[in-house]
Structure 1
Amino acid sequence: MLRLKKNEKGGAAVVAVMIIIMIVAIGSAIMVVTGRGSINEAKAVPAIADESSQEESQPDSQADPEPAPEKTEPETLMSYPKQALDYEDISIKELTTKYGILIDADSNTILAGKNYEKKIYPASLTKVMTLIVAVENIDDFDAKYKFTSDDIDPLIEENASRAGFEAGESVTYEDLLYSAILVSGADGTAGLANAIAGSEDKFVEMMNDKAKELGLTGTHFENASGLHNKNHYSTCQDIAVIMEYAMHNDECMKILTATEYTTAKTKQHEDGIKLTSIVASRFNGYYIEGGGDLLGGKTGFTDESGYSLVSIAEKDGVNYVCVTVKSEDEWKAVEDNIAIYEKYLPSEDDSGAPSDSSESASSDE
Structure 2
Amino acid sequence: MDARTGEVLHAKNADTRLHPASLTKMMTLYIAFEAIERGEISLDTMVTVSKNAASEPPSRLGLKAGQKIALRHLIRAAAIKSANDAATAIGEAVGGSEAKFAARMNRTAKAIGMKNSTFKNAHGLTESGHLSTARDMSILGRRLFFDYPQYYNIFSRRTTDAGIAQVSNTNRRFLDAYEGADGIKTGYTQAAGFNLTASAQRGNKRIIATVFGGASTAARNAKMADLLDIGFRSAPNSAPVNEPAPPVYAADPEAEAIGQDVIASADSDSRSVGKTIRLVTAPTKSPRPQHRPTAVDPNAAAEVVVAMQDSIAGALAAAVEPETAAAEPGQPVAVTEVAGLSAAITPEPRPEALLEPATEAPAEAAVEVVPTELAEVPATAETPAPESPFAMASAETEALAAFDQADAANVQLAAMTVVSPRPEPKPEKLRQIIHTAAPMGPVLAEAPTPEPTAIVTRISTSGGRHWGVNVGRFTSRGQAERALMQTALAESATLNNGLQKVVQKGGKFDANYMGLTQEQADLACRRLQARGTQCFTIGP
Out of 43, 53, 68, which is 1:151 matched to? 53
Aligned match of 2:198:
311
Whole-Å separation in 2 of the counterparts to 1:293 and 1:227: 30
| Aligned counterparts, 1:269-348, within 5 A | 272-284=164-176, 286-287=177-178, 292-346=179-233
Task: Show structure 2 runs of 5+ residues with no match.
Answer: 240-540
Shift of 1:204: 0.6
Shift of 1:347: 7.0
Shift of 1:317: 2.3
Whole-Å separation in 2 of the counterparts to 1:150 and 1:214: 29
1:163 aligns with 2:65: no
Deviations 1:112-135 (CA, angstroms, capped at 9, x unpaired): 111111111111101101000111
Indicate if the aligned counterparts of 1:125 and 1:310 stay in contact, CA closer than 8 A.
Answer: yes
Aligned match of 1:110:
8
Which structure has more relative contact order (CA 8 Å, sep 6+)? It is: 1
Out of 30, 44, 49, which is 1:142 matched to? 44
Indicate if the aligned counterparts of 1:310 and 1:323 stay in contact, CA closer than 8 A.
Answer: yes
Indicate if the aligned counterparts of 1:145 and 1:173 stay in contact, CA closer than 8 A.
Answer: yes
Whole-Å separation in 2 of the counterparts to 1:241 and 1:349: 20
- Structure 2 vs 1, CA of residues 167 and 215 (structure 1 numbering), >3 Å: closer, same or farther? same
Indicate if the aligned counterparts of 1:126 and 1:226 stay in contact, CA closer than 8 A.
Answer: yes
Deviations 1:273-301 (CA, angstroms, capped at 9, x unpaired): 101111124433x23xxxx4111111111
SS at match of 2:89: helix
Aligned match of 1:123:
21
Deviations 1:140-165 (CA, angstroms, capped at 9, x unpaired): 11111122434212x1xxx3311222
| Aligned counterparts, 1:215-230, within 5 A | 215-230=113-128
Q: Which amino acid in structure 1 is aligned with residue 46 of structure 2?
A: K
Indicate if the aligned counterparts of 1:190 and 1:224 stay in contact, CA closer than 8 A.
Answer: yes
Two-structure CA RMSD over aligned residues (Å): 2.0
Q: Which amino acid in structure 1 is aligned with residue 191 of structure 2?
A: E
Question: Which protein is bigger by CA-based radius of gyration?
Answer: 1
Aligned match of 1:176:
74
SS at match of 2:8: strand
Whole-Å separation in 2 of the counterparts to 1:325 and 1:313: 18
Indicate if the aligned counterparts of 2:120 and 2:129 stay in contact, CA closer than 8 A.
Answer: yes
Task: Show structure 1 runs of 5+ residues with no match.
Answer: 1-102, 265-271, 353-365
Whole-Å separation in 1 of the counterparts to 2:74 and 2:98: 14
- Structure 2 vs 1, CA of residues 141 and 351 (structure 1 numbering), >3 Å: closer, same or farther? closer
Shift of 1:336: 0.8
SS at match of 2:223: helix
Aligned match of 1:252:
151
Q: Which amino acid in structure 1 is aligned with residue 34 of structure 2?
A: E
Shift of 1:345: 1.6
- Aligned identity (percent) is 25
Shift of 1:233: 0.7
Q: Which moved more, 1:189-198 or 1:251-260?
A: 251-260
Shift of 1:251: 3.7
- Structure 2 vs 1, CA of residues 166 and 113 (structure 1 numbering), >3 Å: closer, same or farther? same
SS at match of 2:233: coil
Whole-Å separation in 2 of the counterparts to 1:349 and 1:206: 37
Whole-Å separation in 2 of the counterparts to 1:223 and 1:253: 22
- Structure 2 vs 1, CA of residues 342 and 149 (structure 1 numbering), >3 Å: closer, same or farther? same
- Structure 2 vs 1, CA of residues 347 and 224 (structure 1 numbering), >3 Å: closer, same or farther? closer
SS at match of 1:346: helix
Shift of 1:351: 10
SS at match of 2:85: helix
Whole-Å separation in 2 of the counterparts to 1:323 and 1:120: 12
Whole-Å separation in 2 of the counterparts to 1:118 and 1:137: 30
Tell me the TM-score normalized by structure 2: 0.42
Whole-Å separation in 1 of the counterparts to 2:238 and 2:61: 45
Indicate if the aligned counterparts of 1:137 and 1:196 stay in contact, CA closer than 8 A.
Answer: yes
Whole-Å separation in 2 of the counterparts to 1:243 and 1:168: 33
SS at match of 1:113: coil
Indicate if the aligned counterparts of 2:80 and 2:170 stay in contact, CA closer than 8 A.
Answer: yes
